[in-house]
Structure 1
Amino acid sequence: MSRERRLTAGAVAVLLVALLGVAVVPGVLADPSADGPVRPGRVSIAESPAIAPEEVDGATATLRLHTRIGHAGNPTDNVSVRFRAYDAESGLLTAERTVELEELTGDRSVPVNATIEVPREGGYVIETVVFRDGRVVDRDRTRVSGLAALGTEVHFTESEAVPPLSVSVASVDEEANRTTLTVAASLTNGGESASDRLRVEVVLRQAESNIVAARQSTTVSGIGPGRTADATVEVTVPSDYNYYVDAAVYRDGVLVDTARSVANLDPTETISANMTTREVEFEVSDFAGDDGSQEERATEAAARTETATATPGFGPAVAVAALAGAALLARRRTRQ
């Protein structure tokens, strides 16, 4: 047999084997993409979440989250996005929301929106996690703070000409050793609408001991956009001491802003708002609760004076004479 015939016979044999395999195992030469598994496309976070307040009340804030999820490659289904809010200080989970996505196709990004409700205080870390078939494929973390100030733009005035707190002496009662101070808190509305009802609390603490000497609060509302108003209170404290004057403004029980000043009533030394405390002598009784009137204090003082002077002349000489008389009496009884 010639060489050409042998090659032809071999080619025919190979072709017959291939045809036999196709007949015995259907689908061997079929397109793999027709019935076989398809590898899903790539999914990732295309944009970090944009966070904005939606609804705010006295205790909670609803945050609106907006992000975009990118996709490339083959169609992908079973994709979900989970949003979690963790307390920035404690790390505790505060709120959670999961959004299921429809099948992703093409090379593009799709928007994902969600809302979560968190307590209106402190700050939070918003975690965004993308799942595909139950497995994590991407994640992102975004921090948000200042929730306590949401819903109001009123703050203590920040100006060199107008201090946030002004302290002046209203009256002095030298006999009772008491001084009445007038504290005016300057508030400025930096928003676009009039302010709601706000509560301003003023606390005076003796500088060295940190003892609260007085506490008073008042309310203020209707501060127009761009306007400034004063919230004024009067407090009475023991004289001859120095005090830190702390003020806080609250909206619906939520702390909005704070400010500090000083009241120097000690004529021998002064303090500043950022000075550390020092050890000095002071009378604790000056800071005890006092529900009596000035007349009652004067009557008690007069009674103490009268008691101390009710037996004039009763001094050391009288005491010696009394001891001598007692000794003579005891001697007579012994002789009898």
Structure 2
Amino acid sequence: MRREALLAGGIALLALTMAVAAAAVPGVLSEPTEDVRPSHLDVGEQYLDAHDVSGQTVTLSLSSRLTHRGGPAENVTVVTRAIDAQSGLVETTATRSLGTVEGSRDVPFTTNVTVEREGDYDIETVVYADGRRVTQRVRSVRNVGALTPAYARSSVTFHRFENTATPLRAISYRIDTVANNRTTLNVTAYLTNTGDDPEGGLTLRLRARQADSNVIADSAALSVGQIRPGRTRTVSTTLTVPDGYNYWLDGILQSDGVIVGTESAPANLDPTETLTANETRRDVGFQSGDFAERETEIERDRPEATTAGGSGPGFTVLAALVAVLVAVAALTRRDL
């Protein structure tokens, strides 16, 4: 009887302990919940745009999306660096905090970096989660110096003749008179307003530049009246130059004292030598989308999945059963 009494008392004490623990720590007797997956972050495709272009600097606006999967990612920070492609030096750095990212979704973000308006740059985007670098992406931009500053922009340009069987230029000429070894040229320039609003207040300077010496033989400045959207205006003047030489006819378009456009055309007055315009010359201009992106994913630590009851204090059902068996075995040995 003594053995049965001790066994009953041990079981009662264990049951009382489990009841108190269940009341003090909710969920202590629950079964393990399903595994919690680690978070996973990726930087999506990036888009670059140029804002606030001045004579010395340009602000590059980088837009992208941060793709998240798995469990919550805490303290997410995006660091963007503009790195000089030649020297490797960091030109500027911008940091943006996204806080905690949860759920399977895309988080859009935009970062602006201001750089010198010259040279080439690598734009590096690095993502940190809780102080740990998890992924990065690099995009390159080239020939930033080709961007036109805001003060030098105009919707009026030298006309571009397209879809013509015969090559035509925005500056043309005809010989007006020849006398005393001097030739008077009647020079005409074609100017088109490619914008949506009327524009005026422009000045056109036409000059005859001797091809071999670059000496300006004659020049004239003309006031250009207002040009309506989508319309072309012809501006003409006469230039008198020494006979027997070849010349470049230069057109320089200015707005409020700032050069906003230039154009040149050959004038062949030397019968023994002919100037040919360089038809293959072209402006490369600002380039961004044509450069391949490089994506690097940092090696992540992959911890094993944790459970709700795996690290906290308390008993599971299996632990309670083991405790009962141990108590019974101890009492039996003691009686023997």
- Above 0.5 in TM-score? yes
- Structure-1 separation of matches of 2:176 and 2:198: 31
**What letter is aligned with 1:166?**
S
Amino acid in the other structure paired with 1:164 = A
Mapping 1:131-280, distance limit 5 Å: 131-132=127-128, 133=131, 135=133, 137-143=135-141, 147-148=147-148, 151-159=153-161, 160=164, 163-174=169-180, 177-195=181-199, 197-220=201-224, 222-250=226-254, 256-274=260-278
Provide closer, same or farther for how the CA distance between residues 236 and 134 of structure 1 changes in structure 2, counting only shifts above 3 A: farther
1:129 is aligned, of 118, 125, 128, to: 125
Q: Does 2:107 align with 1:103?
A: no
The 5-angstrom pairing of residues 277-292 of structure 1 reads none
Do the aligned partners of residues 208 and 192 (structure 1) sit closer, same or farther apart at CA in structure 2, a change above 3 Å counting? same
Asked if structure 1 preserves the Cα contact closer than 8 Å seen for 2:53 and 2:148, the reply is no
Q: What secondary structure sits across from 2:71 in the alignment?
A: coil
- Cα displacement (A) at 1:141: 1.0
8 A Cα contact 1:58 1:253, kept in partner: no
1:80 corresponds to: 77
Identity of aligned residues (%): 37
2:205, 2:219 within 8 Å by CA — same for their partners in 1? yes
In structure 2, the CA distance between the partners of 1:108 and 1:196, relative to structure 1 (3 Å rule), is: farther
Q: Deviations over 1:73-95 (max 9, x none)?
A: 23223333344556889988766
Distance 2:91 2:81 in 1: 8
Range with bigger deviation, 135-144 or 103-112: 135-144
Secondary structure at the counterpart of residue 148 of structure 2? helix
Counterpart of 1:157 in structure 2: which amino acid? Answer: H
CA distance in 2, matches of 1:87, 1:212: 40
Aligned with 2:277: secondary structure?
Answer: coil
Matches within 5 A, 1:30-109: 41-51=39-49, 53=51, 64-84=61-81, 96-109=93-106
Contact map agreement 1:203 1:246 (CA 8 A) in 2: yes
Aligned to 2:16: none
Q: Is the 8 A contact 1:71 1:106 kept in 2?
A: yes
Q: Which ranges of structure 2 fall in alignment gaps of 5 or more residues?
A: 1-27, 280-336
1:254 CA displacement:
6.3
Aligned twin of 1:313: none
Instruction: Please identify the structure whose Cα radius of gyration is greater.
Output: 1
Residue in 1 aligned with 2:282? Answer: none
- Partner Cα separation in structure 2 for residue 198 and residue 66 of structure 1: 37
Letter of the aligned partner of 2:71 in structure 1?
Answer: N
More helix by share: 1
Q: How big is the shift at 1:112? A: 0.9
User: Is the Cα contact below 8 Å between 2:121 and 2:141 reproduced in 1?
Assistant: yes
8 Å contact 1:123–1:147 — kept in the other structure? no
CA 1:127–1:156 in structure 2 vs 1: closer, same or farther (change >3 Å)?
same
User: How many residues of Structure 1 are paired with residues of Structure 2 in the alignment?
Assistant: 245
Residues 213-232 of structure 1: CA deviation (Å, up to 9, x unaligned): 44554453532211111344
Alignment check: 8 A CA contact 1:157 1:164 kept: yes
Q: CA RMSD in A?
A: 4.6
- Larger RCO of the pair (alpha carbons < 8 Å, separation 6+): 2
8 Å CA contact 1:85, 1:124 repeated in 2: no
> Conserved in 2, the CA contact under 8 Å of 1:58 and 1:251?
no
Contact 2:169-2:265 at 8 Å conserved across structures: no
Q: In the alignment, is the contact (CA less than 8 A) between 1:122 and 1:147 conserved in 2?
A: no
CA distance in 2, matches of 1:90, 1:237: 49
TM-score, normalising length: structure 1: 0.55
Distance apart, 1:149 and its partner CA = 7.8
